[in-house]
Amino acid sequence: MKRQAFVILTTLSLMGMLAAMSVNARSDMRLAATSTTREKSSLGAVLFYNAGSGVGATARIDSAGSYSFVSSIRGFARSWTLIVGASNGGVLFYNASTGDGATARVDGTGTYEFTRSISGFARGWTHIVSANQGSLLFYNSESGAGATAHLDSAGNYQFVRSISGFATGWTHITGTASGGIIFYNASTGDGATARLDSAGNYTFVRSIPGFAVGWTHITSANQDGLLFYNESTGAGATARLDNAGSYTFVRSISGFARGWSRITGVSNGGVLFYNASTGDGATARLDSAGNYTFVGSVPGFAKEWTHIAGL
């Protein structure tokens, strides 16, 4: 793979209370299922969700890439469009058609706990990503609108600010646990980097042209690691994106299986691959330098998980 990089156009112009939310904490248990126990650490947890059935599950991936199923969860609302896991354990659910939302948390043992329902989100957000523990970036690929917020380890949500002037058409946005954000356009190979601090404040860093086109997945794992994957060709690559938003290419990787529909990373370095058509899975790990190691295949997953959120 050629050395790659990124562009984001001139960014930040603060708009007024454009878009993310008015927190309306109605305790509506329809919106997310619940279980009860709490643990301080959230590293390595994974949340599965099926938007058609409202079924969910949790699991753990440790820092060596070993996978452990934890529990099934029923009673989620159906049709969540986006589910975002933060490395501090917070989880945000969002419906782009209605503007409804909800928050929850998953602890380090994989135990899930519903927090609250939230109404009044702007409709139409196409991307919501977490970076720097619980900071969140919202983006609309059609309008270029954006916003930031913060989600703490207890699942409490706080709007920070609206942002205008993003380029339209970003196909992928990925945040790292350390606070870096990468923007990528799969059609053009353009990219850019930015950063979110722990309070949800956004800073543009730089544009980076020349990425390979056609990456279908960009996943973060560990604190700074990035994994690129092309579902059609099986090509891959790794890179690092640090807390200042500085991007460093590490290496190209060939020989991935084709057809992985979901790739999810967790902040301890574990990576989960999943094929929604077959139920096949696999695990790997990214170390702090962006070095990739395959761990093993994991057969027998339920089919048709529509969302898998890593924490």
Query: Does the pLDDT of residue 23 top 60, yes or no?
Result: no
Per-residue model confidence (pLDDT) at position 30: 34
Average pLDDT over residues 174-198: 97
Q: What percent of the chain has pLDDT over 90?
A: 85
Q: Is the pLDDT of residue 50 over 70?
A: yes
Lowest-pLDDT range, 5-19, 59-73, 186-200?
Answer: 5-19
Looking at residue 288, what is its pLDDT?
A: 86
Tens-digit pLDDT profile for residues 230-265: 999 999 999 999 999 999 999 999 999 999 999 999
User: What single-letter DSSP state applies at residue 300?
Assistant: -
Q: Tell me, what's the pLDDT at 1? A: 37
Cα separation of 140 and 219, whole Å? 20
Among the residue ranges 14-28, 134-148, 269-283, the one predicted with the least confidence is 14-28
Across the chain, what does the average pLDDT equal?
88
Dist CA 169 CA 142 (whole Å): 6
Q: How far is the C-alpha of 37 from the C-alpha of 112, rounded, in Å? A: 8
Which domains does the chain possess? 45-214+303-310 (2.130.10.10)
Which three-class secondary structure state does DSSP give residue 202?
strand
Rg (the chain; Cα; Å): 18
Instruction: Report pLDDT digits (tens) over 191-235.
Output: 999 999 999 999 999 999 999 999 999 999 999 999 999 999 999
Q: Are 231 and 261 in contact (CB under 8 A)?
A: yes
- Residue 7's pLDDT is 32
Confidence bin at 4 (pLDDT 50/70/90)? very low
Residue 133 pLDDT:
87
Average pLDDT estimate for 148-173: 97
What's the average model confidence in pLDDT over 141-164? 97
The residue to which tokens 């960014």 are assigned:
11
Task: Tell me what the mean pLDDT of segment 105-111 comes to.
Answer: 94
- Output the CA–CA distances (angstroms, integers) from residue 17 to 48, 162, 254, in the order listed: 32, 6, 45
- For β-strands 180-184 and 172-175, DSSP reports them as antiparallel
15/269: higher pLDDT: 269
pTM, two decimals, is: 0.87
Structure tokens at 310: 């890593």
Per-residue confidence (pLDDT) for residue 8, from 0 to 100: 32
Q: Which residues contact 17 (CB under 8 A, 6 or more apart)?
A: 159, 162
Q: Strand pairing of 247-253 and 262-265?
A: unpaired
Confidence at 150, pLDDT banded by 50, 70, 90: very high
Rounded Cα distance between 174 and 140, Å, is 14
pLDDT band at 169 (very low <50, low <70, confident <90, very high): very high
Q: Please say if the pLDDT value at position 113 is more than 60.
A: yes
- Say if strands 101-106 and 112-118 run parallel, antiparallel, or are unpaired: antiparallel
In this structure, are residues 289 and 240 in contact, taking their beta carbons and an 8 Å threshold?
Answer: yes
